[in-house]
Structure 1
């Protein structure tokens, strides 16, 4: 039986993290990180993607030569939005990343470039199926393998907030009372939107409001100070957890999940905000799970795209 090989890319504004997934299993030796060059011109960015595809194909071919020719190749990308994931068209603008790709059909671009390269790696990847999806959804799909019968809301907390609504390992794209696509980031919250409050910049703004901020401080330093006993620092994370519950409560009441799944850099501070979050969620039936390896879950989620 032929193997399914996925070149998986988690595309960020600073780095592109990549891994080869063989029959649903990420190969840790293939995990690599490349600068995304997201502020560069179209040609520079597209050449970088092609270099990553070439590097990963040649890695797999070098170590698994017998398998490399007798397998189905796929390319899956977790890409930030706005993005037409079905068509493969990038619509990022005004965010300081990948703006030169605005309106570009990346699936067509990649295939056209494979056709122009007269090398074995490009010829093999010409027939590869290429798919795109939102990173939070892919993270949630990866996690769903551990919770196949559960109904949950997944949040990725980092430079922004990503979200997905999952029911028995399927993405719920629309549910009455839940925003289109299950995206919470642009929903109103206090005097702004959800993304403003539940992100790295949101935590730092809260720290300024509560007198815990020091010039040049990042969330990591704020968390370290809180763990060492800083009263203002601990207050920041308590308030963050309380507000996160406040934001989630209406969706919990509508969607009735039995689980909230958290991933991303901010979730690493769960020990500081978790109690406040749990105490202020109104439903007693909801458990909270934090992922130890968001990137691995995302790579697995990327591979699952090709099983649907």
Structure 2
């Protein structure tokens, strides 16, 4: 029986998380995690990716020895930006990660590194289609598998702000209420960009302004203090939620989503900032807007990688 196999990678600045997708679904027992080596030199980074592809491919061969003769193999990568996703060119610079591969066509670079055996054969790896996409978009595509006809905005709140606008399982890059490419991170907000304010560093900046930014404190600890009744900490999250609503208001008014889906580490504190977010987005002339959260961002991202190939 023919199977569609995707070697899926979620690439972060610290770790690369992977699994093998078989006919659109993660194959149990194929999850792996590798260090990103994002601060290394070009050859080290490229060879590391090659070794990950080989590890995934060999794992699938071992797990499905009865099926490897009739499979279509692909490689799908969720990669942080800035990145030319259509051409496969990394444009990250000044962020302390993957700078050594700036401007490089990764599809070509990967193909040049496929291993060759003693008789000059390279196996199936060079024949694989390779696709890249923004991690927030893939998270949103994964969510759309459960909400195939809905219109929604997906946000990932973590070290940075990721976003995607989805209509009937399609990524929307333009139209009413949609910023260019559907990306909110570079939209102006106050004295900077949205990414400066709606991220880990944004919350910690609010905490410092409130006089509770102790050295070593992270969002998790701040949330713990808020839940224990620290009024200043609770005020930080309320302010974060209100400001996020202020940022989103014109996009919600223009795009008119059925709901907003939140993912990422900061979304785990939705109980603290969600009420202020919803209060800011309330519109008496429109139906109440639902805000959902997901604790399964990675699973949705992998599912989105499979759907990326389905929509090609």
Distance 1:82 1:231 in 2: 38
1:192 maps to: 192
Structure 1 residues not aligned, in runs of 5+? none
Out of 281, 299, 302, the residue aligned to residue 302 of structure 2 is 299
CA offset digits 1:236-281 (Å, max 9, x no partner):
1111111111110010001111110100000011111111111111
Q: Is the 8 A contact 2:92 2:102 kept in 1?
A: yes
CA contact (8 A) 1:212 1:236 kept: no
Deviation sequence 1:24-78 (CA, Å, 0-9, x none): 1112411111111011000000111011111111111111111223211000001
- The 2-side partners of 1:13 and 1:275 are apart by 32
Residue of structure 2 in register with 1:96 after alignment: 96
SS at match of 2:159: coil
Shift of the alpha carbon at 1:212?
2.3
Distance (whole Å) between structure 2 residues aligned to residue 212 and residue 253 of structure 1: 35
- Partner residue in 1 for 2:8: 8
Partner of residue 215, structure 1: 215
SS of 2:123's partner is: helix
In structure 2, the residue matched to 1:138 is: 138
Q: Residue 28 and residue 233 in structure 1: after superposition, are their counterparts in 2 closer, same or farther (change >3 A)?
A: farther
Corresponding residue number in structure 2 for 1:261: 261
Distance 1:69 1:230 in 2: 61
Quickly say closer, same or farther: Cα 1:121–1:76, change in 2 above 3 A.
farther
Equivalent positions of 1:266-277 (< 5 A) are 266-277=266-277
> Is residue 280 from structure 1 mapped to residue 280 from structure 2 by the alignment?
yes
CA contact (8 A) 2:177 2:252 kept: no
Q: Cα RMSD between the aligned structures?
A: 1.5
Give 3-state SS (helix, strand or coil) of 1:8's partner.
Answer: strand
In structure 1, C-alpha distance between the alignment counterparts of 2:25 and 2:275, rounded to whole Å: 34
Q: CA deviation at 1:285?
A: 3.2
For 2:182 and 2:165, how far apart are their aligned partners in 1?
Answer: 6
Contact 1:258 1:285 in 2 (8 A): no
Q: Is the 8 A contact 1:2 1:71 kept in 2?
A: yes
How far the C-alpha of 1:158 sits from its partner, in A, is 0.3
Q: What is the alpha-carbon distance in structure 1 between the residues aligned to residue 213 and residue 233 of structure 2?
A: 8
TM-score by length of 2: 0.95
**DSSP-derived class of the 1:67 partner:** coil
Aligned positions, number: 307
In the superposition, relative to structure 1, how do residues 74 and 36 fare at CA in structure 2: closer, same or farther (>3 Å)?
same
* Structure 1 match to 2:71: 71
Aligned to 1:235: 235
Shift of 1:117: 2.4
Aligned-pair distance for 1:177? 4.6
- Distance in 1, Cα, partners of 2:46 & 2:258: 42
Question: What is the rounded CA distance, in whole Å, between the counterparts of 1:255 and 1:213 in structure 2?
Answer: 36
The correspondence of residues 159-198 of structure 1 with structure 2, limited to 5 A, is 159-198=159-198
Alignment check: 8 A CA contact 2:177 2:253 kept: no
- Correspondence 1:110-125 to 2 at 5 A: 110-114=110-114, 116-118=115-117, 123-125=123-125
More helix by share: 1
Shift of residue 122 of structure 1? 5.0
Deviates more, 1:169-178 or 1:260-269: 169-178
